[in-house]
Structure 1
């Protein structure tokens, strides 16, 4: 194995562990722990892509439709989503966000960004600049 391959493998290992630990810490900055991470993921998908059927939501979240049905029922019980008749298929419904869900998602984002902002202020300006550049590179990796 070449030195470049070994260096790349070591970087992949170190980056994977760092991103996993960072993601875990960021996820732990929660406002409302009664809403699970699965619930938040479904709400975030609805916020990003707009109202959709439970089947479409399941496909976006890469889960089986019966699992998403349970998530939707729980979210509806919490007052986080609404069900409206599908405009063209009377057998289906469209799931949309309530104002309470919008506020929850905003509060969750604010909490995580506040935590991250505090951590970033602890770094030297040069380190923050490296992270600014790394954010672009990580986004490029995630997009590919």
Structure 2
């Protein structure tokens, strides 16, 4: 099994390879990972301000503005004036934005489901437990 340091390296590398492979499963290949992350966040949380999106993605407001502009030009989201403060805009998904997120997530799940079917029942149980543990690690 190796040392804890070796196990950490193996886990990190495997996790990154799997994440990279899952990210490759996307409906619109022109979308960057950062752009899809913004769409995913809006899909999960609903309308947000530019500042909220920038904070979540840990980027500057001007950088997020460029991302939002690109996604807006692609028809995946729109900006709407905030009802309480007309100087502020809320950014929300369009129907096309919702579709690209849900279809991409289904495509990613289908890819992973196909790979899991090739594993034994015991290996799938091991991965299910590992997923729980990884979720716990991520919240520490």
Bin of the TM-score, shorter chain as denominator length = over 0.9
Partner of 1:115: 111
Partner of 1:134: 130
Listed one character per residue, the Cα deviations across residues 51-80 of structure 1 (whole Å, up to 9, x for unaligned) are: 111111111111000001011111111111
> Which of the residues 80, 83, 92 maps onto 1:96?
92
1:85 Cα deviation from its structure 2 partner? 0.6
- Whichever of the two has the greater Rg, that structure is 1
Secondary structure at 1:84's aligned position in 2? strand
CA-atom RMSD, angstroms?
1.1
Partner of 2:68: 72
- Listed as ranges, the gaps of 5+ residues in structure 1 are 1-5
Secondary structure at 2:3's aligned position in 1? helix
Answering whether residue 79 of structure 2 is matched by residue 86 of structure 1, we say: no
1:50 Cα deviation from its structure 2 partner? 1.4
> Which of the residues 38, 43, 48 maps onto 1:47?
43
Partner of 1:23: 19
TM-score by length of 1: 0.92
Partner of 1:106: 102
Number of equivalences: 139
TM-score by length of 2: 0.95
- Which structure 1 residue ranges, 4+ long, deviate > 3 Å from structure 2? none
Between the aligned partners of 1:137 and 1:56, the Cα distance in structure 2 is: 29
1:88 Cα deviation from its structure 2 partner? 2.3
Answering whether residue 121 of structure 2 is matched by residue 125 of structure 1, we say: yes
Between the aligned partners of 2:31 and 2:78, the Cα distance in structure 1 is: 16
- Listed as ranges, the gaps of 5+ residues in structure 2 are none
Between the aligned partners of 2:101 and 2:48, the Cα distance in structure 1 is: 18
